[in-house]
Structures are given as structure tokens and as C-alpha cells.
Amino acid sequence: MKISEKDHFELNKITSILNQIDKNEFCYFNITTEEINQYQPFLISMLLGYKIDLKLEEFEEISKVIVLIWEFFRENSKVRKTKLTEQQFEKFHKKNIDLLKYLEVEQNEQEIIFVTKSDLNFLKSKSLLTAIFYRFKNQKSLKEMPWKTKGIVLIGLKSLISIGVSSPPLGA
């Protein structure tokens, strides 16, 4: 898979956002979470839903990832106009779970590669998903998170990226 000019641009944007997030400034998080709650309250609901199953350090890191996703998509005017609903999210979430179930039993390696590439082409940002995977691999609390919990959270985050945080177009 080739890295496009768009991917390079997105990586620079993601790096800048992560630098801001990793400063851990309370004021920044407070303002940002208020903004998320105003325009995309489902993201806050989703985050709070994870809180039950996560240790404090894991929850803080997942909070940062939600902020990363928001900051990445927030300039899109649709994200500020159209609120994502639980039903819309669940549709994409189910597609991602069904894809994993399919790949789990598929034995043809070429088919697995084709289906995986096709799925990645529908993401709103491969760079953003890659940055999230990188964080899960390198942040101690995310790295040590139980596999089952990690899988559940990553499927949810991938679903948000597939949607682009706002409600999908009709028929999606």
C-alpha cells in the first residue's frame, strides 16, 4: 500500500495534535471535551461507557485518543452540524465486528489481503488509525491492557474513523 500525499499531510496534522494532547494541559482538555459534548455528545457517551471496564491510566489514554479523533475531524463543517447517533455508530460497529468474524474463518490468504485492503480504503483516515495503533503499541497502559478490552476499544475507535465522527451519508 502506497503512502499518498494526503497521508503525509495527515501525519503532520496528527503529530501536531498529539504534541498538544501530550502536554496534558487541563484547560485544553476541559475546553476540548466541552466542544465535543456540544457538537458530538455521542463521543463523550462512548468514552464514559468504556470507563467501567478501564483502569484510570487506560481511561486517560483512551480519553486522549477520543480527543485526537475529535481534533482530527473537527474542521469538517459536517462534524459540527450533524450529530452522530448511537444507531449510526452501531451500524458501523457491527460491520467491523462482522468483518473480523469473516477474516477469522477465511483461509484464502489472497482473499484476506483483498478484503483488508478494501476495508482500509473506506476509512476516512488510514493515518489516524495507524497513529492510534502506534499509541496502543507504545503507551504503557494501552500496551498492557487486556486483549479482549483492547479489541473492544479498537473496534469502537475504528468505527469512529470509518464514519468520520459525524453521521454517515444516507445509505452508508
pLDDT given for residue 169 in this prediction: 47
Neighbouring CB atoms inside 10 A of 81's CB total 10
Q: Per-residue pLDDT averaged across 22-49, rounded?
A: 94
List, for residues 59-102, the tens digit of each pLDDT value: 999 999 999 999 999 988 888 899 999 999 999 999 999 999 99
Is the pLDDT confidence value at 18 over 60? yes
What are the structural domain ranges in the chain? 5-163
Is the pLDDT confidence value at 170 over 50? no
Q: How far apart are CA 125 and CA 150, in angstroms?
A: 20
Full-model pTM: 0.89
Q: In residues, how long is the chain?
A: 172
What are 140's three cell numbers?
504503557
